[in-house]
DNA sequence: ATTATTGTATTAAGTGTCTAATACAATAAT
DNA sequence: ATTATTGTATTAGACACTTAATACAATAAT
């Protein structure tokens, strides 16, 4: 489970992974997260690195920690929903930026996207 | 012109920028690049950082340097073409990965993409 | 021949990330 | 009451990236 790319800080990559799990409801509102130590084992990184990712998520109010009980996903549905929308738009804008710089037209882009989705459904 | 994001090494970001300029023919085959020192001024970074980006590009055979003359874009059209295709596919796959993790459907994705293109054309 | 310009190399210092080891604080579980 | 488990904090060291300052090598321009 060495899933990290070397060019981006690991704590940011962990943040992003957990954010995705929250907005896609793999982690539900109020659900308890694994402990810092367990996540560190799971991700094969130092507990401090997980701690850093989690405190950033706490800064965004996406998780709350009760000392000695554990950490829980926020129950603020509006916050989660608006974060999801924001993440979607950011991915879309970045993609269209990139693809335009590569001189790919709108029609070609759509074809590529459809093709990629098609390939995923077959496997 | 402080266009760099802090979480990715600058030399990689410069590499990516120049690669995009080559595959999109803003830099033509055999065209001379600015000097290391000029690029450093232009990007507002240390010459060593530019040097690192350029020697990576040289490792990929995308540029060649003639000592004391300067650096030139490769004239290998096949290489450039296949790099472009590879970059496109990588952006597409990454986008579809991300968007699926955000629980966005194929149809919704297409709508978002079309919308983003539409907005660009009006401004 | 001399000078200027090119790419290249080296050394030192500063910063951020990550790990390791350890400890503390609060409280649920026993 | 005691113990175990939770989040949190601290200190030290290793490593990669970046900057700064400087120098060298090769050759085009003069």
For domain B10-75, is the CATH number 1.10.10.10?
A: yes
- Which residues 17-56 on chain B approach chain A with CB closer than 8 angstroms? 20, 23-25
- What is the C-alpha separation between A28 and A49, in angstroms, rounded? 23
- Work out the average pLDDT over A109-118: 98
Closest by CA to B57, choosing from B82, B81, B80, is B80
Q: Is A7 on the interface with B (CB under 8 A)?
A: yes
Whether the CB-CB separation of A106 and A96 falls below 8 Å is answered with: no
pLDDT of residue A30: 96
pLDDT of residue B121: 86
CB distance from A79 to chain B under 8 Å? no
Size of interface A-B (CB pairs under 8 A): 86
CA angle at B46 for the pair B44 and B47, rounded to the nearest 5°:
110
pLDDT computed for residue B111 by the predictor: 98
Beta strands in B1-123 (DSSP E): 63-66, 70-73
Q: Which of A12, A110, A120 sits opposite B110 (nearest CB)?
A: A110
Instruction: Please report, for residues A16, A30, A89, A108, B30, the alpha-carbon distance to residue A85 in angstroms, rounded to integers and kept in the order given.
Output: 14, 20, 6, 25, 44
Between CA A88 and C1' D5 the distance (Å) reads 38
pLDDT at B2: 63
Instruction: Choose the closest CB to B102 out of A23, A95, A109.
Output: A23
Residue A16 has pLDDT above 70, yes or no: yes
User: How confident is the model at residue A3, as a pLDDT?
Assistant: 82
Burial class (CB in 10 A: 0-12, 13-18, 19+), A20: middle
Angle between helices B47-59 and B36-43 (to 10 degrees): 120
Q: Where are the domains of chain A?
A: 10-75, 78-122
Where chain B has pLDDT below 70, the residues are 1-2
Phi, psi angle pair for B84, to nearest 5°: -60, -45
Of residues B12, B87, B117, nearest to A7 (C-beta): B12
How close does chain B come to A50, measured CA to CA in Å? 17
Q: Does residue A1 register a pLDDT over 70?
A: no
CA dihedral B21, A94, B47, B60 (to 10 degrees): -50
């Amino acid at each position: 489970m060495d899933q990290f790319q070397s060019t981006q800080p690991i704590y940011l990559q962990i943040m992003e992974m957990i954010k995705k799990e929250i907005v896609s409801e793999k982690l539900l509102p109020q659900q308890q997260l694994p402990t810092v130590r367990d996540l560190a084992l799971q991700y094969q990184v130092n507990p401090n690195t997980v701690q850093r990712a989690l405190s950033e998520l706490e800064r965004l109010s996406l998780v709350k920690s009760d000392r000695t009980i554990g950490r829980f996903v926020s129950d603020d549905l509006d916050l989660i929903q608006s974060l999801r929308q924001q993440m979607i738009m950011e991915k879309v804008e970045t993609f269209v930026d990139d693809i335009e710089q590569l001189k790919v037209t709108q029609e070609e882009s759509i074809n590529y996207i459809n093709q990629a989705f098609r390939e995923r459904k077959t496997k």
